[in-house]
Amino acid sequence: MARAYVSSVIDASAQKVWERIRDFNGLPKWHPRIQESRIEDALLSDKIGCIRNFTLQNGDNIREQLLGLSDYDLFYTYAILESPMPLTDYLATLRLTPVTDGERCFAEWSAEFNCSSDDESDLVNGISTNVFLGGFDALKRHFGN
């Protein structure tokens, strides 16, 4: 099983960052690689089991299902249902932890998935850099880092 992991510190309170990223359908508002997104079947975007169907800037389409969300622990977990990437069993978690020394938070985004050994390095690097780090960098810019 392959694993992608990125962590960062954002100069804003965990609650402020959570307010920005909590909406499972809100990726286009904060992630630069996402063009548009919708929740299927008109479900609420915080309903466990809802499916977001989104389009990347390059036109690729991905469907993901929300598996867990906690306003107390500041995380959500989701699975990829459909993707152009050559992987299966993708499970990811985006989590925020307050940093008590100042108005900052520790952000971590991780995923585990199955793929062929030939694709593993490219997928881990692409997901870590383009998705996870790209999202954190956008959040840092938004909050003035």
pLDDT digits (tens, 9 = 90+) for 33-77: 999 999 999 999 999 999 999 999 999 999 999 999 999 999 999
- What tens digit of pLDDT does each residue of 75-120 get? 999 999 999 999 999 999 999 999 998 899 999 999 999 999 999 9
Number of domains in the chain: 1
Give the residue numbers spanning the domain of 97.
2-142
Sheet holding 61-70, edge to edge: 2-10, 104-114, 88-99, 75-82, 61-70, 51-56, 34-39
- Is residue 90 within 8 Å of residue 111, measured between CB atoms? yes
Query: pLDDT category, 144, cuts 50, 70, 90?
Result: confident
CATH at residue 93: 3.30.530.20
Torsions phi, psi of 88, nearest 5?
A: -140, 165
Query: Which of 17, 44, 53, 13 shows the shortest CA–CA distance to 135?
Result: 17
